[in-house]
A = this chain, B = another copy of it.
Amino acid sequence: MLNFQMIKWMKDLFPICRSITGEGTRKTLSYFEKLNPEFKRIKFKTGKRVFDWVIPKEWNIKNSYIKHSSGKKFAEFKKSNLHVVGYSKPVNITLSKKKLLKHIYTQKNQPTSIPYVTSYYKEAWGFCLSENEKKKLPNGNYKVFIDSKLKKGNLELSHAILKGKSKKEIFFSTYVCHPSMANNELSGPVLLNAIMQYIKSNYPKRKYTYRFVLLPETIGSIAYLSKFIKIMKSRIVCGFNLTCVGDERTYSYTCSRNGGTLADLALKSALLEIKNVKKYSFLERGSDERQYCAPGIDLPVCGFSRSKEYPEYHTDKDNFNVVTQKGLMGSFKIMKKIIDTFEFGIYPKTKTLAEPNLGKRGLYSTISKKGLHDEARKLRLNLIAYSDGKTNIFKISKLLNISLDRLNQEYKILKSKNVLK
Contacts and interface: CB of A to CB of B under 8 A. Distances in A.
A117 interface: yes
B385 A257 contact: yes
Contact of A366 (B121, B221, B351, B389): B121
B122 A359 contact: yes
A294 interface: yes
Interface stretch (A23-31, A59-67, A331-339, A367-375): A367-375
Interface in A149-204: none
Given A295-B388, A295-B389, A105 B369 contact: yes
Contacts of A385: 257, 282-283, 285, 290, 293-295
Contacts of A354: 51-53, 221-222, 225-226, 291, 294, 297
A409 interface: no
**Number of copies of chain A assembled together:** 3
Contacts of A290: 355, 381, 385
Interface residues of A, number: 66
Contact of A117 (B54, B367, B381): B367
Nearest to A113: B370
Nearest to A418: B52
A115 B370 contact: yes
B295 A369 contact: no
Given A120-B368, A124-B367, A366-B121, A353 B297 contact: yes
Interface string A286-315: 000011011111100000000000000111
Interface of A: 51-54, 85, 105, 107, 109, 115-122, 124, 218, 221-222, 225-226, 229, 257, 282-283, 285, 290-291, 293-298, 313-315, 349-357, 359-360, 366-371, 378, 381-382, 384-389, 399-400
Which 7 residue pairs are nearest across A and B when measured between Cβ atoms?
A295-B388, A122-B366, A52-B352, A314-B370, A52-B356, A222-B354, A117-B369
